[in-house]
Structure 1
Amino acid sequence: MKQADLNTARMVQLLGSLAPVEGYNLSALEDVRFLRSNRPLTRTPVLYDPGIVILCQGRKRGYLGDDVYVYDAQHYLVVSLPIPFTMETDASEAEPMLAIYMRLDFQLTSELLQQVDAVHGASELPPKGMYASPMDDALRASTLRFLEAMSTPEEAQILGPSLLREIYYRMLTGAQGGSMRAALARQGHFGKVSCAIRKIHSCYHERLDVEQLAHEASMSVANFHLHFRNVTDSSPMQYLKSTRLHQARLLMLRHTMTASAAAFNVGYASASQFSREFKRFFGRTPQAEIEWMKATYALPAPAMPSIYVSSH
């Protein structure tokens, strides 16, 4: 058996112990969760926080417009901006989906960006809000060391942060690391759209319009529309609506809010309009969606503190 296969098998063994129950398992590091799913999950709308997903077993597919992002034991996913997309999972009781989710640490990436750019030069690759990239041997070895350390409480606290930094370094210097570096640098049109997205996620419950968001991005309305769609594959108002509906679903799922209360909390003035748009977006009424989610998905742990709010 090749060394890469041996490393993967060992990672599956370690991660199986670190994620003993379905859903999100806490770790010794605030920004790291270990995930397990014992069943296939059908295609459903999701909204990830900026972060990194490394699968050791199973497969996920993300759909954004005409693009398909496959992440499995051979590929990892990077999300530098919260972009709504649809996702499905291949998993079973015999071979559960096992993954590491790392919420993006912007302070750590900022420190590494300066060091990596000083050595490698500024990235010439275009920034991407989301991409799947092959797992190379160096990243696989770093991930294995990280899981081994996280399996021991003392090593998790002492060595975990430095090994997490090593994983970030591997990604920033990997095959598509330049795109990640360019995205995190928040420059050019991508950076301006990022400012508007940040505004949406901090103020989605308020009255927002295209003119306000274009002003936040320091762009004309026409240019803002164009570049926002290039980054997110949706219009600004579609993105705002999607964000509100995802947040409402989380409120109903995690905090047992009624549909009308959730609608009010995310900025809807009309509960009936909210219900119509919710059903059009998720394919079910609010009540039916929450019942289906509870029956089908293992509920994630409470969201980690973030400049964004996620729906995993």
Structure 2
Amino acid sequence: MEKRIYNIKNYKLCNQQRRLASLVEKFTYRDGFQSTDIPSLDLIRASNISETLHSIYIPSICVIVQGAKTVILGKESYRYDANSYLVASVNLPIIGKIIEASPDHPYLCVRLSFNSDQILDIIKESKQNFEEKPGLERGLTVTKGNASLLDALLRLVSLLETPEEIPVLAPLFIREILYRVLQDKHGYILKQFAVIGSHARAISKAINLINNNFEKPLRIDELANEINMSSSSLHHCFKKVTAMSPLQYQKQIRLQEARRLLLSEVLEAAEAGYKVGYESPSQFSREYARMFGLPPISDIKRIKDSIYINF
């Protein structure tokens, strides 16, 4: 009997994944990252295994419906595919690589972004008690997929076929998706960043402050004072959430922004470095090469000579 129930559940999941994959293919006319008529919903497609890509994950739920990807945060590696989904609770600089994709079976992913206020509203209005655990958890987790979540996601993506229904129905389906994630095994990880007064909420504020002022010198004592923490607590809690120190985090944000500037604007390497907060061109070039494998000018030339798609 248990095996029969498992088979029925597995069949339902596979059927939902196939239907989602068909919809994502329908609305992705090229490889890469594509926005939709639903502001917080994006679709991603790749017809080939990718090179290693640096990017910033915003608070979001990423559900792969075909293919697989690895993500590195700090020194930790995560793998997820059509049987799992990823939740990023705060802005995190990551290194990603699509590891399963082909022209016949492209990598297909759905990303739904959210903010902590949406999570807090659901927590306040729900009559259920979401699981809480002591201590801080990583701001990134990979969890096994389930039929309830995929069903809600399928209804949301299906709205792209009836855009006139999006203003009324999309907020309801998005709310259900977030609720399903909160109900899931690792829902407490998402909740911790929405609870006012929690250490996780304070670290989320620190992350936002760094992102909004990454080009300025980072003074840990001032940042700690802003979020009402001691410097030692800030350092400890920040590393628990992001797998890196505040200074390491700022460096990754700076270098990724410098790379974006060099790709999108006509700038000298030293000028790009200065714009993101480096006073020493040699230090900028050294740290850039350490992160991306080549000095700025050589790296940008390599990217422009290749087919570069930001996933």
TM-score, normalised on structure 1? Answer: 0.88
Rg bigger for which structure?
A: 2
Residues in 1 aligned to 2:85 and 2:276: alpha-carbon distance in whole angstroms: 32
Counterparts of residues 220-299 of structure 1 (less than 5 Å): 220-294=230-304, 295-299=306-310
1:62 correspondence with 2:71: yes
Q: Which moved more, 1:19-28 or 1:185-194?
A: 185-194
Q: Which amino acid aligns with 2:279?
A: A
- Secondary structure class of the residue paired with 2:283: helix
Residues in 1 aligned to 2:266 and 2:182: alpha-carbon distance in whole angstroms: 40
- Secondary structure class of the residue paired with 1:120: coil
Q: How many residues align?
A: 299
Residues in 1 aligned to 2:152 and 2:201: alpha-carbon distance in whole angstroms: 30
Q: Which moved more, 1:101-110 or 1:47-56?
A: 101-110
Counterparts of residues 1-312 of structure 1 (less than 5 Å): 2-65=11-74, 67-90=76-99, 91-116=101-126, 118-120=127-129, 123-124=132-133, 126-185=136-195, 187-294=197-304, 295-299=306-310
- Secondary structure class of the residue paired with 2:192: helix
Quote how far apart the aligned CAs of 1:186 are: 5.4
- Extract unaligned runs of 5+ from structure 2: 1-9
Quote how far apart the aligned CAs of 1:7 are: 1.4
Residues in 2 aligned to 1:152 and 1:262: alpha-carbon distance in whole angstroms: 44
Quote how far apart the aligned CAs of 1:143 are: 1.4
Q: Which amino acid aligns with 2:289?
A: K
Q: Which moved more, 1:286-295 or 1:27-36?
A: 286-295
Quote how far apart the aligned CAs of 1:122 are: 6.2
CA deviations over 1:103-146 (Å, ceiling 9, x no partner): 22333223212123x42256336543010111111011111111
Quick one: structure 1 residues 291 and 184, their matched pair in 2 at CA, closer, same or farther if it must change by over 3 Å?
Answer: farther
What is the percentage of aligned positions where both structures have the same residue?
29
Residues in 1 aligned to 2:130 and 2:97: alpha-carbon distance in whole angstroms: 37
CA deviations over 1:27-77 (Å, ceiling 9, x no partner): 112222111111111334332112111111111111234533222111111
Quote how far apart the aligned CAs of 1:208 are: 1.9
Quick one: structure 1 residues 121 and 145, their matched pair in 2 at CA, closer, same or farther if it must change by over 3 Å?
Answer: closer
CA deviations over 1:145-170 (Å, ceiling 9, x no partner): 11212222223343222212221111
Matched-pair contact (CA < 8 Å) for 1:59–1:70: yes
Residues in 2 aligned to 1:93 and 1:154: alpha-carbon distance in whole angstroms: 32
Quick one: structure 1 residues 17 and 157, their matched pair in 2 at CA, closer, same or farther if it must change by over 3 Å?
Answer: farther
- Extract unaligned runs of 5+ from structure 1: 300-311
Matched-pair contact (CA < 8 Å) for 1:80–1:184: no
Quick one: structure 1 residues 257 and 160, their matched pair in 2 at CA, closer, same or farther if it must change by over 3 Å?
Answer: farther
Residues in 2 aligned to 1:159 and 1:223: alpha-carbon distance in whole angstroms: 43
Quote how far apart the aligned CAs of 1:84 are: 2.3
Residues in 2 aligned to 1:26 and 1:43: alpha-carbon distance in whole angstroms: 22
Relative contact order (C-alpha < 8 Å, sep 6+): which is higher? 1
Q: Which moved more, 1:282-291 or 1:47-56?
A: 282-291
Quote how far apart the aligned CAs of 1:195 are: 2.2
CA deviations over 1:210-229 (Å, ceiling 9, x no partner): 22222223222223222222
